[in-house]
Amino acid sequence: MIVTRFAPSPTGFLHVGGLRTALYNYLYARKNGGKFLLRIEDTDLARNSDAAVEAIKEAFDWCGLEYDGEVEFQSRRTEIYKKYINELLESGKAYKCYMSKDELDALRKEQEARKERPKYDGRYRDFTGTPPEGIEPVIRIKAPLSGKIEFDDGIKGHISFEAADILDDFIIARSDGSPTYNFTVVIDDALMGVSDVIRGDDHLSNTPKQIILYDALGFKVPKFYHVAMINGSDGSKLSKRHGATDVMEYKRMGYLPQALLNFLVRLGWGHGDDEIFSMSDMLRLFDPKDINKSASTYNLSKLEWLNAYYIKNSGFYELADEMLFFGIDFRGLPKGELLMSLLQERAKTLLDIKAGVELIVNAPSSYDEKAMKKFVNDESKALLAQYLAEFKEDLENTSEFEHFTMEFLNSKGKTLKDLAQNVRIALTGGSVSPGIFEMMEVLGANEVKKRILEFLKA
């Protein structure tokens, strides 16, 4: 069975790069009828945040990434880690190192002076003497002194590390007894049955260390897939200045979760020239072997384009549910479905829809100066006054408002361009809006008359 996991540290909010990793793991597990696990790596007690844990769960809920079983917390697995550290000590595959900080600093200075890569020299690897007093030892693994550490990466292909060049007897437990990252990851992945690890390639240097631990503990090594990072538009590491932020901020900015997931899945993976991928499409087509080896580029305009597509193609009730987050209940608005259809055609984000609702539903308290200068004059206001005088209060739907208006204009020898912008400014305060006849239906004849009258007084 395919078992994948997402294992963030709760030291900050879930970033879009992390969500992409979670999505890839989720898709691969679900496509193969496997399990997708969520594990919180919270052993750094000084930096952990309960708010960050809740933010991760909230982001998963919003995006619809359901994980199997309960969330696992490393902080609750301390006894398990101690058990396996003791096993390695008893089997001679790990040992206690009594090297003091002063000794370690001196060693590093000597190595740097010789222009060598700083590394532990193994002085306590086979130590059998009396331990020095006053020093709490760290626990080190006995790493291979020669040979190669090799594995087949599902994205990057065959990878080989020279043991002597990159490895020393790295620490698996600190002097206070707390286990290190590489050790806890191996224990957790093995005991949780993780078969495939899809993660960022910033973890690639950890992989040989973890393989050594898998072998020392007699655990099966999972299949690794190391995904290239996401870069900003300028080629540098993705950051907030490129528009990227924590996942829930995208919700607050008015993006739909399906648009964000579609955007993220394409940052490193594709299927031909296709751009639109629903969740069902992703589940059908995704394979981590097809992930690009090279870094992808974050493009906010592409996300906006996708978001506009999903907004335009979403049903009324789906969008109405999303708009509740922004304090707008379309189900409670007169002509709510018509209003939604007007606004979703033009919207790039749900904030655009919110602004559109406020523009149409709320009577203008002022009028745009540029629009007034460009479109409003004595002749246009005189025509609008005549229009108001003949306006019928029994008009109800878009076609009736349009039919009445065109008959009025024909009788005056005028065209719609002679009237439309003055009506638009009267109804909304500006010169940009959805169609005037649709807006009239949303507002109703009485409200239309009231707004035109107020405009003529201005």
Residue written as tokens 């246009």? 380
The beta strands (E) that lie in 357-414 are given as: none
Q: Please provide the size of the chain in residues.
A: 458
- 307 φ, ψ (degrees, to nearest 5): -65, -40
Q: What share of the chain is helix, strand, coil (3-state, %, to 5)?
A: 50, 10, 35
pLDDT at 252 over 80: yes
Confidence of residue 113 (pLDDT cuts 50, 70, 90): confident
User: What pLDDT, on the 0 to 100 scale, is given for residue 350?
Assistant: 98
How does pLDDT run across 368-394, given as a tens digit for each residue? 999 999 999 999 999 999 999 999 999
User: What pLDDT, on the 0 to 100 scale, is given for residue 200?
Assistant: 95
Contact yes or no for 188/39 (Cβ under 8 A):
yes
pLDDT at 2 over 70: yes
Average pLDDT (344-373) is 96
Confidence of residue 43 (pLDDT cuts 50, 70, 90): confident
Q: Look at residue 35 and tell me if it is in a domain.
A: no
CB atoms within 10 A of CB 141: 24
Distance CA 293, CA 289 (A): 10
User: What pLDDT, on the 0 to 100 scale, is given for residue 46?
Assistant: 61
The pTM assigned to this predicted structure is 0.91
Domain boundary among 201, 227, 253: 227
User: What pLDDT, on the 0 to 100 scale, is given for residue 119?
Assistant: 85
How does pLDDT run across 153-176, given as a tens digit for each residue? 999 999 999 988 777 899 999 999
Q: Look at residue 399 and tell me if it is in a domain.
A: yes
Residue written as tokens 């301390």? 78
Distance CA 9, CA 74 (A): 10
User: What pLDDT, on the 0 to 100 scale, is given for residue 45?
Assistant: 67
pLDDT at 11 over 80: no
Average pLDDT (35-47) is 85
Distance CA 274, CA 134 (A): 64
Average pLDDT (128-149) is 93
Domain boundary among 182, 202, 227: 227
Does the annotation list 82 as a binding residue? no
Q: How far is CA 211 from CA 77, 85, 162, 349, in A?
A: 21, 16, 13, 45
Query: Which residues lie across from 246 on neighbouring strands?
Result: 15
Mean of pLDDT over the chain: 94
Confidence of residue 117 (pLDDT cuts 50, 70, 90): confident
Average pLDDT (30-42) is 96
CATH number, residue 401: 1.10.10.350
Domain boundary among 187, 204, 227: 227
The residues, ordered by sequence, that sit 6+ positions from 11 with a Cβ below 8 Å of its Cβ are 44, 47, 48, 49, 52
CATH number, residue 138: 3.40.50.620
Q: Which of 75-84, 109-118, 449-458 has the lowest mean pLDDT?
A: 109-118
Confidence of residue 115 (pLDDT cuts 50, 70, 90): confident
DSSP state of 149: E
Tell me whether residue 46 is exposed, middle or buried, using C-beta atoms within 10 angstroms of its C-beta: 0 to 12, 13 to 18, 19 or more. Answer: exposed
- 412 φ, ψ (degrees, to nearest 5): -100, 0
User: What pLDDT, on the 0 to 100 scale, is given for residue 326?
Assistant: 97
Q: What share of the chain has pLDDT > 90, as a percent?
A: 83
Higher pLDDT, 185 or 47: 185
User: What pLDDT, on the 0 to 100 scale, is given for residue 173?
Assistant: 97
Q: Look at residue 64 and tell me if it is in a domain.
A: no
∠ CA 47-188-146, rounded to 5°: 100
User: What pLDDT, on the 0 to 100 scale, is given for residue 239?
Assistant: 73
Tell me whether residue 422 is exposed, middle or buried, using C-beta atoms within 10 angstroms of its C-beta: 0 to 12, 13 to 18, 19 or more. Answer: buried
Q: How far is CA 2 from CA 26, 29, 53, 183, 237, in A?
A: 11, 6, 25, 22, 31
User: What pLDDT, on the 0 to 100 scale, is given for residue 48?
Assistant: 67
Q: Look at residue 38 and tell me if it is in a domain.
A: no
The residues, ordered by sequence, that sit 6+ positions from 218 with a Cβ below 8 Å of its Cβ are none
Q: Look at residue 65 and tell me if it is in a domain.
A: no
The residues, ordered by sequence, that sit 6+ positions from 37 with a Cβ below 8 Å of its Cβ are 3, 4, 5, 6, 67, 68, 69, 72, 192, 194
When divided into structural domains, the chain yields a total of: 2
Average pLDDT (127-133) is 90
Closest Cα partner for 367 from 382, 381, 385, 354?
381
Give me the active site residues, please: 240
How does pLDDT run across 214-244, given as a tens digit for each residue? 999 999 999 999 999 999 888 788 876 776 6
Tell me whether residue 98 is exposed, middle or buried, using C-beta atoms within 10 angstroms of its C-beta: 0 to 12, 13 to 18, 19 or more. Answer: buried
Q: How many CA atoms lie within 13 A of 303 on its CB side?
A: 22
Q: Look at residue 39 and tell me if it is in a domain.
A: no
Q: Look at residue 194 and tell me if it is in a domain.
A: yes
Q: Domain range spanning residue 388? A: 369-457
How does pLDDT run across 290-302, given as a tens digit for each residue? 999 999 999 999 9
Average pLDDT (186-196) is 98
